[in-house]
């Protein structure tokens, strides 16, 4: 049975990384450490096995195992939503049912991708997948899987059980429109970390993304600033975050995020190939040096991982 209602899934929500060891095996011990670290930092929930979790580099069995370990370690402290998307309905349904058995609070999925499926096929995918469990479904709108148009979003929202959307598209005015035309109860999660302020000020219920693994404190402060109507402060925090994000995007972002978590005491391990990693001490040192320079050039204070370098 789920512990939480989807309306409790809010705030700053990491799209959880999946730690692998030096030999690319899923590292359960490191996963547990990272879960505790993030809950300790005050995140509002965890979104597992999505793009940031390197889901499409894992077998279905591995994905199911990651979800089991996360739910077990969380032990009801915060809501957990499992991304179960795959190209084929049958695969996604299997993953959704395993996630439900593991005890997640909701499931989520990108639309089927790679082949240009018709809007009806995408609609049927979400209908079948949502029917396969009793859990709420959060549709995941992301350019990587082909963006859903507004009419299609409205149509998907009419499927019983579809209760929200993770909206990683730059057209944030649609967040307002979704709330207006689908309903205020329909949960919207803003997915572009670079635009968290805009998503939140347009009424998103939370933010789900990669960098909330690495600098949750910046976004927790940003979210309270928006809630308090302090847009000046929110903008300053978004600027700091964006300097960090754009710097990271020069590398494999997930590899940077994992190193920055490790420096803060939560060993997040390595990425799977073909992503690359900072393996040698020389590589790690040069990354640290570049971060120190950014911190100085931009005069950044109060960011936990920069403060421990």
Instruction: Report the site for ligand MN9 in 39-78 (rule: CB under 6 A).
Output: 51-52
Check residue 92 for interaction with ligand MN9 (CB under 6 A). Answer: no
Q: Which residue is nearest to ligand MN9 (CB)?
A: 209
Check residue 245 for interaction with ligand MN9 (CB under 6 A). Answer: yes
Nearest alpha-carbon partner for 30 in 40, 17, 43: 17
Q: Supply the residues annotated as catalytic.
A: 140, 166
Place of tokens 């579809």: 162
Read off the tokens for 177.
């429109």
Least distance from C-beta 160 to ligand MN9, angstroms? 26
Rounded to a whole number of angstroms, the CA Rg of the chain reads 18
Euclidean distance between CA atoms 62 and 3, whole angstroms: 24
Instruction: Report the site for ligand MN9 in 250-289 (rule: CB under 6 A).
Output: 253
Check residue 141 for interaction with ligand MN9 (CB under 6 A). Answer: no
Least distance from C-beta 83 to ligand MN9, angstroms? 10
Binding mask 190-229 for ligand MN9 (x = CB under 6 A): -xxxx--------------xx-------------------
Binding ligand MN9 (rule: CB under 6 A), the pick from 22, 42, 75, 144 is 144
- Neighbouring residues of 60: CB distance < 8 A, sequence distance ≥ 6: 86, 91, 94, 95
Torsion, Cα 34 30 249 284, to 10 degrees, reads 120
Q: For the chain, where are the alpha helices, taking DSSP H only?
A: 28-40, 60-74, 89-102, 119-131, 150-157, 173-181, 196-201, 216-227, 231-248, 253-263, 281-298, 304-307
Instruction: Report the site for ligand MN9 in 6-35 (rule: CB under 6 A).
Output: 15
Binding mask 146-175 for ligand MN9 (x = CB under 6 A): ----------------------x-------
Binding site for ligand MN9 (CB under 6 A): 15, 51-52, 142, 144, 168, 191-194, 209-210, 245, 253
């Amino acid at each position: 049975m789920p512990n939480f209602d989807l309306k409790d899934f809010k705030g700053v929500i990491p799209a959880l990384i999946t730690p692998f060891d030096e030999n690319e095996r899923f590292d359960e011990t490191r996963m547990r450490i990272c879960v505790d670290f993030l809950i300790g930092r005050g995140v509002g929930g965890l979104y597992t096995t999505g793009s940031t979790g390197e889901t499409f580099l894992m077998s279905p069995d591995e994905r199911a195992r990651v979800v089991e370990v996360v739910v077990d370690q969380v032990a009801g402290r915060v809501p957990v939503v499992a991304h179960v998307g795959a190209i084929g309905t049958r695969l996604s349904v299997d993953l959704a049912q395993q996630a439900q058995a593991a005890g997640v609070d909701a499931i989520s999925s990108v639309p089927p991708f790679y082949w240009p499926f018709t809007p009806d096929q995408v609609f049927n995918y979400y209908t079948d997948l949502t029917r396969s469990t009793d859990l709420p479904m959060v549709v995941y709108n992301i350019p990587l899987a082909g963006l859903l148009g507004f009419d299609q979003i409205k149509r998907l929202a009419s499927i019983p059980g579809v209760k929200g959307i993770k909206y990683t598209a730059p057209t944030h005015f649609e967040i307002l429109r979704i709330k207006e035309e689908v309903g205020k109860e329909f949960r919207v999660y803003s997915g572009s970390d670079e635009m968290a302020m805009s998503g939140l000020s347009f009424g998103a219920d939370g933010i789900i993304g990669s960098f909330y693994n690495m600098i949750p404190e910046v976004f927790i402060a940003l979210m309270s600033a928006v809630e308090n109507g302090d847009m000046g402060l929110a903008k300053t925090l978004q600027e700091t975050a964006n300097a960090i994000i754009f710097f990271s995007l020069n590398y494999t972002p997930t590899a940077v995020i994992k190193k920055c978590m490790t420096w803060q005491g939560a060993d997040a391990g390595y990425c799977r190939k073909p992503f690359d990693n900072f393996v040698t001490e020389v590589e790690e040192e040069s990354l640290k040096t570049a971060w120190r320079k950014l911190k100085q050039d931009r005069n950044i204070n109060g960011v936990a991982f920069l403060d421990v370098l």
